[in-house]
Amino acid sequence: MHSLTVHTSSHAYPIFIDGDLSQHAASLLMPYVGQKIAIVTNETVAPLYLERWQRIFSELNSDFFSIILPDGEAHKNWSTLNLIFDGLMRHHAERKTTLVALGGGVIGDMVGFAAATYQRGAPFIQIPTTLLSQVDSSVGGKTAINHPLGKNMIGAFYQPQAVMADLGCLKTLPPREFSAGMAEVVKYALLGDASFLTWLEQNSSSITAQDPQALAHMIAHCCQMKADIVAQDEKEQGIRAYLNLGHTFGHAIEAEMGYGTWLHGEAVAAGMVLACRLSEELGYLSAQDTQRVISLLQAYALPTEPPHMSLDAWMRHMQHDKKVQDGHLRFVVLNQLGQASMADHITHTQLHAALANYLPSSTH
C-alpha cells in the first residue's frame, strides 16, 4: 500500500492507495469518521461498491445511511446538490456527520461542496472510483457544481479528512473512462515532470493493460505532485493554476457540446493540444513538441482535436473561465515539455492562430 500526506492550512490528511483497500479500510478510516455517516454515491457505482463499503462502515460501529444520485456530468447542478441536502435533513444529519463521496469526480465535487456548506461545514471523506478522480479531483479540496454558462463556477475550497483510492475499482471502469483519466495523468507530466512524460511513453502498454504495479506507481506519483502543489498554493493564487493546463479550452468544449457529451478528460486532452498550439504561437514549443504530445494522447485513446466551434463560441465560453483577470484571458502554457507558466494578455491574433486549424472553414 502507498500512503502520503497532503499538508494544507486547515489540516493535513492522508491519501491511501492500494489494490484492495477493503481488507484494511476500517482500521485506516477509524480516526476520520464520526458516529454517523452519510454515504453519497450514484446509480452506476452503487450496485458495484455500496454494499462493500456499508459492510466496512458497519465494522466501525457507526450509524450510516445512503444517498444515491443520478449519474453523469449533466447532473452536477443545484437540483442534484439539493438531493444531498434533502437526504441529510431527512436523516437528521448533524455537523459532525461524516459525508462519504463514493464515486468519480462529479460525486467527489458535489459531496465536497455539500460538506463545505451543510451546517457551515461537515467532515467528508473521498473514496474515488475512477482513474480521473484518483489521480486528480479527489485531492486538494476543490469542490463545485456547474452553471449552464460555465463549469465549476460555484464552489468552495474545502479539504477532505482522508482519501481512499482503491485500484481494484478501475477493473470495472469502461475503457473510455479509463482513457479520460489518463488525460489528467499526462497533464501532470506536461506541466512539471519531463521524466514522468518519458515514463508514460515507455510504459503505455503496461498502463493500458492495467498492470497493478504500473498503475500504483503512476497514481501515487500524480497524487504526490498534486499534494506538493496544494501545500504551496491551496487557494490557487499562484502555481496551483498550472493544474488547469488544457482546462480553459476543455471547459469551453464541455459547455458548448453539453455537459457529459465529451467526458471531462477527453475535453482536457483536446485542450492540452490547443495549449501546445498556443505555446507554439508564443515561440515556446516546436511543432515536434506538440506532435509528441499528440502521439502520447493517442496512445491512450484520447481525442487530440476539438469539435468544430466558431471563434465566437470559444470566446463566449472562455470569458467565463475562472482564470480571467480584469477582463483579460489568461492561459496555462508550456515553456517546454515538463514546465508550465501562465500567459497573460493573449491577443486575439495569437488565439485565432492557435485555433485556426480547428475552426469551421467559414471562420478561418
* Residues assigned a catalytic role: 120, 142, 184, 226, 236, 240, 244, 247, 251, 264
Q: Are 334 and 189 in contact (CB under 8 A)?
A: no
| E strand spans, the chain | 2-7, 12-18, 36-42, 63-69, 98-103, 124-128, 142-147, 150-157, 162-166, 330-336, 339-344
How many Cβ atoms are within 10 Å of 177's Cβ, its own excluded? 18
- Which of 54, 22, 42 has its CA nearest to residue 84? 42
- Which of 90, 77, 86, 52 has its CA nearest to residue 259? 77
Q: How far apart are CA 85 and CA 192, in angstroms?
A: 39
Can you name the residues that pair with 2 across neighbouring β-strands?
A: 17
**Residue 236 has which C-alpha cell?**
490557487
Largest CA distance in the chain: 65
**Residue 31 has which C-alpha cell?**
480516526
- Which of 246, 263, 357, 356 has its CA nearest to residue 302? 263
Write the DSSP symbol of residue 308: P
Q: Residues for the chain: how many in total?
A: 364
Reported as type and span, the H/E element at residue 140 is: none
